[in-house]
Amino acid sequence: MDDAEREHLFDLARAANGAARPVRRRKPKTWVARESLTRALDAIVNGPAFVRNGRLDILATNVLGRAFYDEVFDGTGKGNLARYCFLDGRAKSFYPDWEAAADVTVAILRTEAGHDPRDKQLHDLVGELSTTSDEFRLRWGAHNVRRHGSGTKNFHHHDVGDLTLSYEGLELTAEPGLSFLIYTAAPGSPSEERLRLLASLAAPTSATPSKTTPGLYPALEDTTQKD
């Protein structure tokens, strides 16, 4: 049993015993990024960077992150990585190893469900995906869990082609339940050149607002709030 599985087991045991869990601070129903957080995102120019919650909603990005995940926002994903993975047919091209990406996606949601089994928004998302995707439903029943801290992933972006990127995930202590993730390419690699190309394609004009402008995603709700 690895650390993620052990932590998940303890979460389930606490929930079953009715043990009190630390209460996360309440926030406005519509989450708005702090100015200092948007500046931190905008300071990262060599790789996609974004903030997400445990339900896999992308809440804020830098400019390159918005270009990298453009399909997540413009289709059935509605800014949610799980919806994109299972409900948008383009995901199987974006993730060359889609089976592995799907496994990880469900494992992250399962881990979040263990952390907060009363999260209604997460229950709604799982219900939606279970009724619309057989592939999700089968994986959800496997009860696999996973931490998403660091590693390497392969992608195929429709504008620039294949990318091999390393990622680092950081928990935001000032924003309980949210994670800050950064993707980078190895120096001198073809992936680094392709990220530069994507950055040039995504470069905002003087009339284009930053993709991390507070309130840019008013439909995305902060699921770290308790009912």
Q: Render pLDDT for 98-138 as a digit per residue (tens, 0 to 9).
A: 999 999 999 999 999 988 888 999 999 999 999 999 999 99
Determine the Cα–Cα distance for residues 26 and 145; give it in Å rounded to an integer: 26
Q: How many CB atoms lie within 10 A of CB 214?
A: 15
Both tokens of 142, joined, read 């496997």
pLDDT of res. 128: 97
pLDDT under 50: residue ranges of the chain: 1-16, 20, 22-28, 206-210, 212-227
Q: What is the pLDDT of residues 142-163, one digit of tens each?
A: 888 766 679 999 999 999 999 9
Residue 204 is predicted with a pLDDT of 73
Give buried/exposed letters for 68-98 (b at 16+ CB in 10 A, else e).
bbebbbeebbbbbbbbbbbbbebbeebbeee
Question: Are the C-beta atoms of 214 and 37 separated by less than 8 Å?
Answer: no
pLDDT of residue 29: 55
pLDDT of residue 142: 85
What is the pLDDT at residue 205?
A: 57
Q: What are the extents of the domains in the chain?
A: 30-202
* CATH C-level class of 30-202: alpha beta
pLDDT of 172 reads 93
User: Are 144 and 185 in contact, with CB atoms under 8 Å apart?
Assistant: no
What pLDDT is stored for residue 149 in this prediction?
Answer: 79
